[in-house]
Amino acid sequence: MRILFEMDKKDYVPDGSVFSRPSARAIIIKDGKIAMVYSKKYNYYKFPGGGIETGEYVEEALIREVLEETGLCVIRDSIREYGQVHRIQKGTKEDIFIQDNFYFLCCVKENIEQQSLDKYEAEEGFTLEFLNPQLAIDVNRETILDDFAQVMVEREALVLELLIQEGYFECGGKLTCCAS
């Protein structure tokens, strides 16, 4: 998978304790809009997806996380690699937090099922929104969070900018299937 970019805050003790949490994230584009998870509590957007459990295949984590956070059912045969973002910074509990974020282009079924949110996701008021990608970028850049979360929302803004630059939102863009 191609490396999109690396985010290294260099704010950690190099020989400290490490927590690594790889994640799978979905890029779902429909009618020129992007599917994003919105946090009502903190006013930011993130790509649907989350942590890959030990022993879990990346594609399985992607399908599971998208369904849990949004109610959208990813069509397995539509999953295509987009790119990876490597993130490293001071952790909230550990000295070093490392996260490899794997982004996949995918299509989803037309029907939307019920979300199955974790406690913190429910507390944040996670909701699915299809919106103009520039709006998500603007909201993320205006939102002020703690240093740890700020890196995450900037990561999402940078990935959205790449998708725009690469023509994914243009009429007849690179992603042709969106719902089935």
Supply the DSSP symbol for 76: G
Q: Tell me the C-alpha distance between 137 and 89, whole Å.
A: 22
pLDDT digit string, tens, across residues 33-89: 999 999 999 999 999 999 999 999 999 999 999 999 999 999 999 999 999 999 999
User: Count of CB atoms within 10 A of residue 37's CB?
Assistant: 26
126 occurs within a structural domain: yes
pTM, to two decimals:
0.93
Domain count, the chain: 1
Domain that holds residue 107: 3-165
CATH code where residue 81 lies: 3.90.79.10
Is residue 99 within 8 A of residue 9, CB to CB? The reply is no
Closest CA to 35 of 23, 45, 43: 45
